[in-house]
Amino acid sequence: MHFIKELRKHQLMVAVRTATPEQAYMAAAACIEGGIRFIEITFSVPDAAEVIRRLSNDKRAKIGAGTVLTTGDVKKALGAGAQYIVSPNFDEKVVALTKKEGAISIPGACTPTEIYRAYKAGGDVIKLFPFVEIGGLDFLKVIRGPFPYINYMLCGGVKLDNISGYLAAGAAGILVGSAIMRRDLVEAADWRSIAEIAGKFAGKAEGFSGKK
């Protein structure tokens, strides 16, 4: 699948969670400027669908919706141009509608049973959440024993000083949040600094990819 191939190539997806739509748009634009190619606008952002609509015009990045909990939100997100749907949990109806509409489904799961059910229901990538709390990289290594064919997204705990371990794990992707979307920078509207941090993360991923 082209989407997963691209995700594996670039590795990083940034979850944008802000207090206002304008903050979300500007922060996302800064991340794209810094080299991030997958942006998730969470549905906790007011008017998230409109932010997705605006960002969808930028062909440098693939834009998706996050914290999608209902089929109603799936419809809003896809109607706005979202290419993938990310959830913190596994909801069979959310996955089914996402797949029916031809979009990429990334449900969340944290136990062997949830992971397998989400995969069997049609999840293209399974988001391991909360990644650190369920065992982090050690958990990933163990869960790959019975389920080596599942594409995993690691959600939680990644920072510049430990990203090498995440990249070496060879997951389909790594979801980054507050390490790039720093609250103090968002509140100060310091988009340049967010772009610089995003660039450092993207550079690490690109450098690691180049070593393969």
Q: pLDDT tens string for the chain (212 positions)?
A: 799 999 999 999 999 999 999 999 999 999 999 999 999 999 999 999 999 999 999 999 999 999 999 999 999 999 999 999 999 999 999 999 999 999 999 999 999 999 999 999 999 999 999 999 999 999 999 999 999 999 999 999 999 999 999 999 999 999 999 999 999 999 999 999 999 999 999 999 998 876 55
pLDDT of residue 1: 78
Question: Rounded CA gap, 209 and 191, in Å?
Answer: 27
The torsion angles phi and psi of 78, rounded to 5 degrees, stand at -70, -35
What's the pLDDT at 25? 98
Q: How far apart, in whole angstroms, are the C-alpha atoms of residue 105 and residue 102?
A: 9
pTM for the model: 0.96
Radius of gyration for the alpha carbons in the chain, expressed in angstroms and rounded:
16
Find, among 59, 47, 130, 123, the residue nearest to 90 by Cα: 123
pLDDT of residue 211: 59
Cβ(28)–Cβ(16) below 8 Å:
yes
User: Which pLDDT score, from 0 to 100, does residue 209 have?
Assistant: 73
Alpha-carbon distance of 161 to 159, in angstroms, equals 5
Render 155-199 in DSSP notation, one character per residue.
ES---TTTHHHHHHTT-SEEEE-TTTS-HHHHHTT-HHHHHHHHH
Can you give the pLDDT at residue 212?
52
